[in-house]
Amino acid sequence: MRKFNRINRIRKRLTSTFRKNLPEIQAASIDRPENVKCVLLIRPNHRLGNQLLVTPLLQEATTIFPNAKIDLFLKGNAGINIFKNFKSVDRILRLPKKHFKEFTHYFTSFWCLKNREYDVVINVSLGSSSGKLATHHARSKIKLSNEDLTNTIKEKYPDAKHMAKSGVYRLRAALKGDIEGLDKKPIPNLSLALTDDELKKANDIIKQKVGDTQKIISIFTHATGEKKLSKEWWHAFYYRLKKEFPDYEILEILPIENISSIDFKAPSYYGKDIRMISAVVQQTDLFVGTDSGIMHLADSTKTPCIGLFSISRPQVYAPYSKGSFAFDVQNATIDDLLHQAKGSLSY
C-alpha cells in the first residue's frame, strides 16, 4: 500500500508539471448550436457527489444541442449508474480509480479521446491535472473550461463558483446570442432520471420500514474526516427533531459502512444501490444530512435537502433544489436548524 501511495504521489507531481506546461484554453464561441452533433463533458473524479454535480450541465447541453450525442470522461464506476437513464449520453469513458493497478486502462482511456472528433468539449474540473490533460488531448475546435471563467461571468452570475452551476454558466456565455431566453432560465437541478419502477420499489421499502405513514423526515448522520459531526450533536438533534415534529417518522439512511451516529434509534435503510437510495429519499418529505455524496444524492430528488456544512465551502457544494439550502453548523444552533426545517417542509 505504501508503495502505491508513493507512486501515486509521483504520478500527481508529474501530471501537475505536465499540466502547467500545456497551453491555456482560449475563450471560444458557439455560433450554430443546432449543428453540434458530438459533445464531450470532462469530470475525472471518482467521488459520487462530484459526478452528480455534472448532471445539470448534461441536461443543459442536451437542451442547447438537441441533435447531439454526448460523451462523458469520468473516473471510477459511479457514472455507470448515475447517467444510465440519460438518453443523450452515447459513451462513458472512464479512468480507473486506481491508476497504477490498471495502468493500461488509464492510458487507453486517454487514447479513446482521439478516436472521435467533437464539436464542443467542456472541462468541468477546476484545478484537475487529468481534466486539463483530457481537454488538451480531445479533438475539437471549441474547448470550454471552468478554469477560464472570466470576471464578466462571475459578475453576471453571483453563484458561478458553484460546482454544478459553473459549467452551465460557462456554456451559456459561449453561445452567440440568447437562445429562447435560456439565460433567464434557472440552472437545472441535479438528477438521476429515476424511473417509475424505481420509485415504486422505494415506496414498498418505505412501507416496510415505517408503515403507511405519510410524513417522513430522512437523515444521514455519517461523513468522512473533519466533515463528521459528533455523536453528541446528532443525538441532541435527533431528540429535538422528534419533539418538534411529532407527526413525522424519522428514517435514517445508512452509509456503506452500516454505522449510525444515533446508534440505530430510528428505523433505517441500508443499501448499496445509489439509485435506490435516491428513490427512497424521494419518498420522504425532508432530508437532513452532512455534506457528502449522499447529500448530493438527496439533492437530486424532489425532496427538499438541508446540507450540514462545517468545513467545506457551501458556495461551491450547497444543495440548491427547491426548498434546499446549506446550514452552517459552526455558527448556528439546532434551534435555528429546526426553524429553517419548518420552512423547507412547507414546499
Q: What is the pLDDT of residues 68-111, one digit of tens each?
A: 999 999 999 999 999 999 999 999 999 987 665 666 677 788 78
Selection from 28-42, 115-129, 146-160, 252-266 with the highest mean pLDDT: 252-266
pLDDT band at 145 (very low <50, low <70, confident <90, very high): confident
pLDDT value for 103 = 62
* pTM of the predicted protein model: 0.90
Beta strands in the chain (DSSP E): 38-42, 69-75, 89-95, 117-118, 120-123, 139-140, 143-145, 216-220, 249-253, 268-269, 286-290, 305-309, 325-328
pLDDT value for 16 = 56
The phi, psi pair for 119, rounded to 5°, reads -80, -35
Condensed to tens digits (0 to 9), the pLDDT of residues 294-336 reads 999 999 999 999 999 998 899 999 999 999 999 999 999 999 9
Q: Does domain 2-184 have CATH number 3.40.50.720?
A: no
Ranges 168-172, 179-183, 197-201, 238-242: which has the least confidence: 179-183
Q: Say what the alpha-carbon torsion angle 37, 42, 43, 44 is, to the nearest 10 degrees.
A: 130
Residues in CB range of 258: below 8 A, 6 or more apart? 270
Q: Check if 2-184 and 196-345 are the same fold.
A: yes
Looking at this protein, which amino acid is placed at residue 139? R
| CATH numeric code, 196-345 | 3.40.50.2000
Domain coordinates of the chain in residue numbers?
2-184, 196-345
Q: Which residue has the cell 438527496?
A: 298
Looking at this protein, which amino acid is placed at residue 340? Q
Helix (H/G/I), strand (E/B), else coil: 308: strand
Q: Which residue has the cell 432520471?
A: 193
